[in-house]
Amino acid sequence: MTPLLQIKALKVAIGDKEILHGVDLTINEGEVHTIMGPNGSGKSTLSNVIMGHPKYEVTGGDILYKGESILEKEPHERSLMGIFLAFQYPKEIAGVTLEEFLLAAHRAKKAHLHPGKPPTLIFRFKKMLHEIMAELKMPESFADRFLNHGFSGGEKKKAEALQMAILEPQLAVLDETDSGLDVDALKTISENVNRVMKKDEKTGVLLVTHYQRILKYIQPNFVHVMKEGVIVKSGGHDLAVQLEEEGYEKL
């Protein structure tokens, strides 16, 4: 079976500084992989490179999505292929409402998957949007606010979860989605991730986190530890518990 995502000996740099020194990782359909590690270990770099952030230069190795190299693909092309990135620090975009943004993204993906079909009617989209917002405990008024503008940290993360639910990606990369969340918000967002995976059991997740608390709600198949730009250890959920208790210094 062709892996959903296969990262081969990936090396990444910014300018003259190499950040990733040969990362290997394989994610199959329906698997949840967690990457943990101390600050500066390269976790967020890996997330951004998978999505095609132009700040980073791939100096070696390859990233294959469903068997196809995506290194030459633009970020929007990767998104249309089914890859989604939830940012650690979501950007604020004044002048574009959350609903306008989501409608445009939804229509773009549908047009890519079903060329020639008419776009989703606004009233049908609104109905779907409001149903998902209710599940995420987001008031409908949020849809009329500028994207992330004036949102709290938890509200921004809920908006990211809403985007994921609307786009229904096949590979979701979640970059420290749990940072800055209280227990209730963490549980709500985790439930949405599980909801997306349940809707399509082939969906894969790469979850980047510092702490194992989110893993109480999103059960990983594999846990990987990254230090200084390489994956130094892999295991199951018990590895995350060990890291929580002992820290990274013993690795």
Return the domain boundaries, the chain: 5-246
pLDDT at 198: 85
Give yes or no for residue 251 having a pLDDT over 70: no
Mean pLDDT, rounded, for 238-247: 86
pLDDT at 106: 95
Residue owning tokens 């791939």: 58
Mean pLDDT, rounded, for 140-157: 90
Of 5-19, 47-61, 235-249, least confident by mean pLDDT is: 235-249
Identify which has the larger pLDDT, 133 or 26: 26
Mean pLDDT, rounded, for 142-158: 90
Tell me the CA distances in angstroms from 220 to 41, 134, 142, 156, 214, one per residue in order.
20, 26, 31, 24, 10
Which residues, at least 6 apart from 201, have a Cβ–Cβ distance to it below 8 Å? 29, 30
pLDDT at 178: 84
Rg of the chain taking only CA atoms, in angstroms: 18
pLDDT at 183: 86
Mean pLDDT, rounded, for 15-26: 96
Nearest to 230 by CA among 64, 65, 26, 25: 25
Paired residues of 68 in beta bridges: 65
Banded pLDDT at 130 (limits 50, 70, 90): very high
Tell me the CA distances in angstroms from 139 to 4, 21, 102, one per residue in order.
35, 44, 16
Average pLDDT over the chain reads 92
Residue 107: count other Cβ atoms within 10 Å of its Cβ: 15
pLDDT at 34: 96
pLDDT at 76: 94
Report the distance separating Cα 112 and Cα 104, nearest Å: 12
pLDDT at 186: 87
Banded pLDDT at 172 (limits 50, 70, 90): very high
**Which tokens in the block code for residue 144?**
């009329």
Mean pLDDT, rounded, for 100-107: 95
Give yes or no for residue 131 having a pLDDT over 80: yes
CATH class of 5-246: alpha beta
Identify which has the larger pLDDT, 49 or 184: 49
pLDDT at 188: 83
Helix, strand or coil for residue 201?
coil
Span between the terminal Cα atoms of the chain, in Å:
32
Mean pLDDT, rounded, for 238-249: 85
Residue 72 phi, psi dihedral angles, 5° rounding: -90, 0
Task: Output DSSP code: residue 120.
Answer: P
Of 27-36, 101-110, 154-163, least confident by mean pLDDT is: 154-163
Mean pLDDT, rounded, for 228-233: 95
Report the distance separating Cα 230 and Cα 61, nearest Å: 13
Paired residues of 234 in beta bridges: 224
Banded pLDDT at 137 (limits 50, 70, 90): confident
